[in-house]
Amino acid sequence: MAEKHAALITGGSRGIGRAIALRLAKDGYHAIINFRVNTAEAQRTLQLIVNDGGSAELSQFDVVDRKAAATALEGLLARYTVEVLVLCAGIRRDEALVFMNEDQWDSVLDTNLSSFYTVVKPVVQQMLLNRNGRIIAISSTSGESGVQGQVNYCAAKAGIIGAMKALALECAKRNVLVNAITPGFIETEMLSGMDRKALAQTIPLKRLGTPEEVAATVSFLASSGAGYITGQVIRVNGGIYL
Ligand code: NDP
């Protein structure tokens, strides 16, 4: 029998995922921080939560590796009631389609989109049995509009929105609510190599967003106050109209 109420955050070790893990731990969840390779950053996130009086643990698995993910998730679900699942693991490998190699296409689709099936399927089974759960997928503004050089990333992030909407319909009867957040430009390592000043000028609020601003929206969607919201895309993008 599972013992603690937990929030699982894929890609919870750095950037937006770290802010989400910290915030959900502050909200009282046992934060399960998934990551792939960067143990030092994951440990840092864990330490920040513990220092803040929260409860957390690390869960290292590659969301692309179906077997490894299934094994890790089976172990977690045996120990915890996962009330909140945040799908945040993501990568980008930008290239114009005519130059894009198969690995750039496959890795972005596998990490950002196919992981939806791999991670959500076992977790939502537990949520449906408990008739309680919140799933929040981190998509992107890129999934709502086309961006040059991101045919792979836009396809994956748009796919998440479609998957989220269909799953929301499948789960609504059992009080499992499924939503997506589409962040605009958020200050993390993912923006490395981009001209942040120039980017800021394209945003009505004239600045990049912070991971904490995305985390605040996750916290709301996980809260009882969001109990009548499902199948929705919540934009956290500084006022960009699409
Ligand atoms: P970061 O690059 O800062 O962090 C990525 C996180 O995902 C890390 O924790 C990383 O772990 C993890 N991760 C990557 N691949 C895998 C994998 N195969 N299995 C498990 N974990 C993995 O990214 P951001 O915080 O910027 O982005 C987080 C999410 O938000 C992504 O889905 C991204 O697409 C989305 N987003 C980001 C925006 C931005 O402007 N930053 C805008 C819109 C959406 P490790 O370090 O171990 O690899």
Residue 186's DSSP bridge partners are: 209
CB of 48 closer than 6 angstroms to any ligand 1 atom? no
Instruction: Give the residue numbers marked as catalytic.
Output: 153
pLDDT at 35: 98
Position in ligand 1 atom list of the atom nearest CA 141: 43
Q: 102-109 and 151-171 are packed helices; what angle lies between their axes, rounded to 10 degrees?
A: 20
- When pLDDT is cut at 50, 70 and 90, the band that residue 192 belongs to is confident
Of 135, 222, 131, nearest to 175 by C-alpha is 131
Query: Tokens 């589409």 identify what position?
Result: 182
pLDDT at 241: 84
Q: How far apart are CA 117 and CA 41, in angstroms?
A: 26
Q: Three-class SS of residue 236?
A: strand
pLDDT at 4: 61
CA of 89 to the centre of ligand 1 (A): 5
Query: Tokens 């791999």 identify what position?
Result: 118
Query: Which of 8, 13, 16 has the most ligand 1 atoms within 8 A of CB, as the residue to mutate?
Result: 16
With a pLDDT cut of 90, the percent of the chain lying above it is 95
Determine the average pLDDT of the residues in 38-50. Answer: 98
CA of 173 to the centre of ligand 1 (A): 31
Of 10, 143, 13, 18, nearest to 65 by C-alpha is 10
Of 121, 68, 107, 84, nearest to 7 by C-alpha is 84
Q: How far apart are CA 237 and CA 242, in angstroms?
A: 10
- When pLDDT is cut at 50, 70 and 90, the band that residue 95 belongs to is very high
**What are the strands of the beta sheet with 176-183, ordered from one edge?**
55-60, 30-35, 4-10, 80-87, 133-138, 176-183, 233-236
Q: How far apart are CA 215 and CA 231, in angstroms?
A: 19
